[in-house]
Chains A and B, each alone.
Chain A
């Protein structure tokens, strides 16, 4: 089965890799560069923050080849629609691209989405021409609303951000996949390669992660593991798995046994 034509299409743009990765929490920029390379990702998330006036020379973009990667600025740390909208406008001006990962958080302990504010922000941003990829709860009703507003994808969480708990509610993800037509990208919660593979085997169109890679003992090796897992999971999904059965089915023929 050819993987060449199996592209992830978001708002008319086609991507070969279905793994999106963050750029936070690495021990060094050099380590980040090697992990990004190993992940095979084409879309990478970044945060928008004030320039440190005393150390203004330091720039993340000195380490990132913008011909190779599409930046997806996030609104991490925003707790209201207004803050998230403001951050997106700044991101567009800084990066000259309309892609944004919209997140509006509900509280610091869980980092769960504040979905009312998320919907409010998404409406405004879509009207302003942004390509909005919202981080949201794994709730089909909400995902439908985000799609109806005009979001380019939905990005339900697998588990809390940075928790590494994996896909806690695969059935909810399945229901979302049945209900929406835009790409479904699991964002947050992936801890290891099998979690990413599970998301892809469910039929998700992509996976986004940061801590799962950057927090591993060897982030570069984990980035490669995630790259393989996302590809393996996608291929298994497309190949069509066998149905689960309670009892055995022999793999070898019954006929011709030595008697």
Chain B
């Protein structure tokens, strides 16, 4: 299925948000996830399935003033 991750179109097999983070080598504790413009609470990463056409934003902290 086709989803958009941080503005990039990607073709991935069906999976949960947690599985996606793991496949991208991202530590779930260090990020925030927005799924179709709604914040996804960390407790829901494991149960939240991704669907074709989903738009997901994965952000973290970087240096800034």
Contact = CB atoms under 8 A, between A and B. Distances in A.
Are A and B physically bound partners? yes
B55 to A, nearest CB: 12
Contact of B61 (A47, A161, A208): A47
Nearest to B64: A47
A60 B61 contact: yes
Nearest to A209: B65
B40 to A, nearest CB: 8
A210 B65 CA distance: 5
Given A50-B57, A53-B58, 4 more contacts: A56-B24, A94-B60, A208-B65, A209-B65
A6 B45 CA distance: 43
Interface of B: 5-8, 24-27, 30-34, 37, 39, 41-42, 57-65
The CB with the most chain A CB atoms within 10 A, among B24, B42, B58, is that of B58
B63 A46 contact: yes
B62 A94 contact: no
Given A56-B26, A89-B39, A90-B32, A50 B65 contact: no
Interface of A: 22-26, 32, 45-51, 53, 56-57, 59-61, 71, 73-74, 76, 86, 89-95, 161-162, 188, 208-211
A162 B65 CA distance: 10
20 contacts: A23-B63, A24-B63, A24-B64, A25-B63, A45-B64, A46-B61, A46-B63, A47-B64, A48-B32, A48-B61, A49-B60, A51-B26, A53-B6, A59-B61, A60-B61, A61-B61, A74-B65, A89-B39, A94-B31, A95-B61
